[in-house]
Amino acid sequence: MDKTILSGNEAFARGAFEAGVKVASAYPGTPSTEILENIAHHYPSIDSSWAPNEKVSLEVAIGASFGGARALCTMKHVGVNVAADPLFTLSYTGVRGGLVLIVADDPELHSSQNEQDSRHYARFAKVPMFEPSDSEEARAFTRLAFEASEQFDTPVMVRSTTRISHSKSIVYPQAPVEGLPAPSLARDPAKLVMLPGNARKRHYFVEERLAKMAEWSCAQAFNRIEKGKGDVGVITAGVAYQYAKEVLPEAHVLKIGLVHPLPKQLIRDFAARCKTLYVIEELDPFIEEQVRAMGIAVHGKDQLPICGELTPGRVAAGLLKKEIPQGHTPSETLPQRPPNMCPGCPHRGVFYQLNRLKAYVTGDIGCYTLGFMPPLSAMDTCVCMGASIGNATGISKVLPPEDQKKVVAVIGDSTFLHTGINGLIDMVYNGSTATVIILDNSTTGMTGRQDHPGTGYSLKGDPSYQVDLEALCRSVGVKHVYTIDPYGLEETRELIKREMERPETSVIITRRACMLHKRDLIQRKPPLFVDADKCTACKACLKLGCPAIKWNPSAGTKGQAEIDKLICVGCEVCMQVCKFGAFGVCDEN
Amino acid sequence: MKTKVQNILLVGVGGQGILLASEVLSEVLMLSGHDVKKAEVHGMAQRGGSVVSHVRYGEKVYSPIIPEGEADILFGFELLESYRYLPLLKKEGQVVASDLQIVPPGVALGKESYPEDIPAKIKAAFPRSRIVNAMALAQQAGNMRTVNTVLLGALSNLMDIPEGAWNQAMHNRVPAKFLEENLKAFALGRQA
Ligand code: SF4
Ligand code: SF4
């Protein structure tokens, strides 16, 4: 293969393949998801799988590494919070086969609940971290990370960001490595059993390892100085390097490929040559603070934003005090176009009813978080994956009995298996009276329809055991478990209302496949139309927020609802909302 | 002298297939020997939200996103979105856009209104712009879903790339069974 154009995520997958990875495990999370999908699709020699959460996926990778194979684990930034427990101790045990953890940050929160900077995890866990600045480096650094992992007996992290993962640039694929040792059992309890006596010794090893790596890194090609003109220098890494080159094309640049541990000597030498020094990095002043602590004066976050993504314009505005150019700006205020649940989304009716029932809804992370948006407006909290159930328990503990009844936790099937189940165990164990709704759409909708242990299929699409959610809930002690089709609007409302009243934990499973489900579970039905003679312009159907229903203010005397036949899927939920029977089914053609 | 980096900003609504169009575009640029970078955001935006894809090419491209106010061409798949992103277009830039309108939720609910006369406003600000009735041409090509390819055809007139390279890129990126109709759609767009 000569050259090709790949996204960062495709390039990470390619790099893992070239490095001879045997096992890859992940939980999907934007912007990291496509790494594993690409591996599953293009590199069948790698045993790739979805784990129920990031902690498990890292533990699977650790096992493979302990068996002597190269192993990859990928996740988004908030996933590291879940995986932090094994990560910190893995830093002590080190590896047998190389182990690489790719973590994708999301500056600007394009699709996340916070903007945390994973480089702190690398430092906190004392794990080295590479940071590529384009797809070719994503490929090459992944390969390199596996070599460094084995050379220094350490897990290695690779940091991506949305702009690396989801941008494409030219890549030069290489042939995969050959001659890696075959996996085998090898007992080494002093290294792999982290009891205090062993771990105490390993801590010294960890510190020495970082010192050695910092020194090693000074002479490696992934850290490079690009000579410019004048006396302005820039220290930068990741996608920020590209913005630096764009905005300060003349400056000397120290491009750092290994962002932890920093190549301190190299930084010192570089700084000595420059009069003005900038650190350009995305999110936190991670490099900047360490350079300052070395006694070197730099500019960075005094001129650049900590919050949000960098862009060439923001860098120029900060450092060069250039105004961000604005071309022609429309004079009127334009309607926003926020994301919305799909036409026919099975969650829509549930949120519609929760809104009408005035439930206090503790929410979670998934497509259903969109239930927060008007006109459904039926979500009151949303913290992290799996938190809705625990949040419901907590809030109902402190409320007077009448208010307790209002508390309803919503969670998706994938998220329930991710970390929601633990909350449910607690709920029963500690006698919470809140109601839990598992919005089961038989997939991981938000990240792009991935499988999970509740769908009955593996990442590679092979059939596997399908977790029985009802039986699972019963087995942890929930006595009241009910399953309902959320397209039945009144039945769903009655059930939710009844269970909200019940002074005991209950679980309602609303089951209907996601509209975008991969395995044609959706029956396409003829679209609906609004009968102009029957529509009274009450606007009740608009409260559903279905993208297929439009308000036409100039129809009739008072305006009228209309359906976009191209996108309506005929779920008939709107039909149940209309008191005047104005909705009809189009003739099939 | 180094050739200047050219910037094309693709905008539209989630689900319109903008990502495939930007794939074909990047492919043709790579095949023509340029350095190419393309960037977009996946995730929430796909659910009917506004979608933006940046494509940059030239001898050497650094930033994967187009610096603010430096887009040479705004390539729009939906009218309101084309209008929304005008601030990113440079003064002497131009718009190639579909006249298709998709109403956002606020408009569907009757709370906001869809701006009027967008094509005229775009042309007033950027006189070299073209608004294409892409849907009609796609129907003429035999499939409504080739609307993106029609638009690519219209875009191709503004770019110095031989038609053969476009055909090659489509061979590489478009599934075989849709190739014929897409080639036809492209040709229609190029004539439009
Ligand atoms: S992707 Fe599926 S779950 Fe998500 S909004 Fe669409 S139908 Fe609902
Ligand atoms: S039947 Fe009604 S609610 Fe369902 S998709 Fe069509 S317009 Fe939307």
- Report the chain B residue with the minimal C-alpha distance to residue A366: B44
Using the CB atoms, write b or e for B35-62: b if 16+ within 10 Å.
Answer: bbbbbbbbbbbbbbbbbbbbbbbbeebb
Over residues A319-340, the mean pLDDT reads 91
Query: Does the beta-carbon distance from B86 to A110 stay under 8 Å?
Result: no
* Atom from ligand 2 closest to the CA of residue A583: 2
Mutate which of A2, A37, A167, A382 to test chain B, going by most B C-beta atoms within 10 A? Answer: A167
Instruction: State the nearest Cα–Cα gap between A477 and chain B, in angstroms.
Output: 35
pLDDT of A363 reads 98
Ligand 2 centroid vs A572 CA: distance in angstroms?
A: 6
pLDDT band, very low/low/confident/very high, at B1 (cuts 50, 70, 90): very low
CA distance B192 to B179: 20
Q: Which residue do the tokens 């100039």 mark? A: A554
Ligand 2 centroid vs A108 CA: distance in angstroms?
A: 33
pLDDT of B44 reads 67
**Of A134, A163, A339, Cβ closest to residue B47:** A339
CA distances from A47 to A451, A456, A497 (A): 16, 18, 46
Which residues lie below 8 Å from residue A295, measured CB to CB, with a gap of 6+?
none
Over residues A152-172, the mean pLDDT reads 98
Q: Which chain A residues are Cβ-neighbours of B68 within 8 angstroms?
A: 311-313, 324-326
**Of A110, A166, A327, Cβ closest to residue B88:** A327
The yes-or-no verdict on residue B45 having pLDDT over 70 is no
pLDDT of A325 reads 87
pLDDT digits (tens, 9 = 90+) for A442-484: 999 999 999 999 999 999 999 999 999 999 999 999 999 999 9
Query: Does the beta-carbon distance from A312 to B63 stay under 8 Å?
Result: yes
pLDDT digits (tens, 9 = 90+) for A254-274: 999 999 999 999 999 999 999
**Pocket lining for ligand 1, CB < 6 angstroms:** A 341-342, 345, 347, 367, 441, 445, 514-516; B 47
SS3 A383: coil
The yes-or-no verdict on residue A543 having pLDDT over 80 is yes
- Averaged pLDDT score across all residues of chain A: 96
Task: Tell me if B131 sits within 8 A of B122, measured CB to CB.
Answer: yes
pLDDT of A589 reads 52
pLDDT band, very low/low/confident/very high, at B42 (cuts 50, 70, 90): confident
**Using CA positions, which residue lies closest to atom 4 of ligand 2?**
A571
Instruction: State the nearest Cα–Cα gap between A471 and chain B, in angstroms.
Output: 32
pLDDT of A326 reads 83
Percent of chain A with pLDDT over 70: 99
The yes-or-no verdict on residue A1 having pLDDT over 70 is no
Instruction: State the nearest Cα–Cα gap between B44 and chain A, in angstroms.
Output: 6
Q: What is the DSSP letter of A217?
A: H
Q: Which residue do the tokens 């298996």 mark? A: A417
Judged by average pLDDT, the poorest of A240-249, A293-302, B41-50, B79-88 is B41-50
pLDDT of B56 reads 98
Q: Express the helix, strand and coil content of chain A in percent, nearest 5 each.
A: 35, 20, 45
User: Does the beta carbon of A528 lie inside 6 Å of ligand 2?
Assistant: yes
- Report the chain B residue with the minimal C-alpha distance to residue A547: B105
Task: Tell me if B43 sits within 8 A of B63, measured CB to CB.
Answer: no
Query: Does the beta-carbon distance from B42 to A312 stay under 8 Å?
Result: no
Ranges of beta strands (E only) in A58-162 are: 71-76, 99-105, 129-130, 156-161
pLDDT digits (tens, 9 = 90+) for A98-151: 999 999 999 999 999 999 999 999 999 999 999 999 999 999 999 999 999 999
